[in-house]
Structure 1
Amino acid sequence: MAWHNELGKYGEEKVNRYLLDMGYTVLERNWKIGHKELDFVCLDGEMLVVVEVKTRENDKVSLFELLDFKKKRNLQLAGAAYLTQKNIHREIRFDLVLVSGAEMRIEYIKEVIDLF
C-alpha cells in the first residue's frame, strides 16, 4: 500500500476513536455512491453529521486547500444521496477533521460547508 494511503487509514482510525470518545454514534464509514465517498456518517445527538477526514504530515495546511469547491459540492451531493437512499428526513451537518503534523494532532471544525 502506498504511504499516503497508509497515512490516510491511520488518520481515519484516529478520527474514529475521537468521534466515539466525543459521544458520536458512527453509522457508516467510507460510504460510497459512484465516485463520491463520505468518510464518516454519524449521529451527534439527533443531528446527522457527515465528517470529512484529511490527514497530512505537514501541519501548515490551509482549510481552503483541503476543501475546494469541487470537494465541497461532492460532499453535498453524496450527503443528499445518502439521505435519499436511506430514506432519512432530517438536517445534515458537514464537519471536517484535520489530522496533521508529526504528532498527528486532531483539529475538528464543525459546519465546514457554511464557512465558505
Structure 2
Amino acid sequence: MLERLVNAATDIFLGALKHTDHGGSFKGVFTLNVDGVPKPVLLVGSAHGSHEDGEVIAVLNPDSEVSEKLRPGVAYNGGSLKEIVAGRCDAMVHVWIDAYKSDPFTVLEKYTARASVGPKFKV
C-alpha cells in the first residue's frame, strides 16, 4: 500500500512541477482505490520548477483534523508529522523529489495504521 501511495503522490507532484517555475505550494485530494474501496488521499506539498525539486505528503483516508493541520509550504519533520497523522489516517508518506536525478524519489517518512477503516469522506 505504501508503495502505491508513493507512486500516486509522485505522479501528481511531477504534473504540478511543470507549472511552478519559481516555486509554489499545493493542497488537494483525490480518490485511490484500495482493495476495491475508493478512499480519499490528501496531498500537501511544495514544488520548485526551476530547481526541479520539492516534496509531497500523501495521507490516505485522513480525519478532517489532519487536513486542517497540514499546510502547504510548511517544512514538517518526522516527529511533528507523525504526531499529526498517528491514529488519524490509514497511511502516510512524505517524499522528497529531485526530478532531474535517475532515481528521483526519497521517502523521508512513512506511517501505517494498525487497522484500516472505511472511507472517512468522499472526494
Structure with the largest fraction of helix: 1
**TM (normalized to structure 1)?**
0.32
The TM-score, its normalising length taken from structure 2, stands at: 0.30
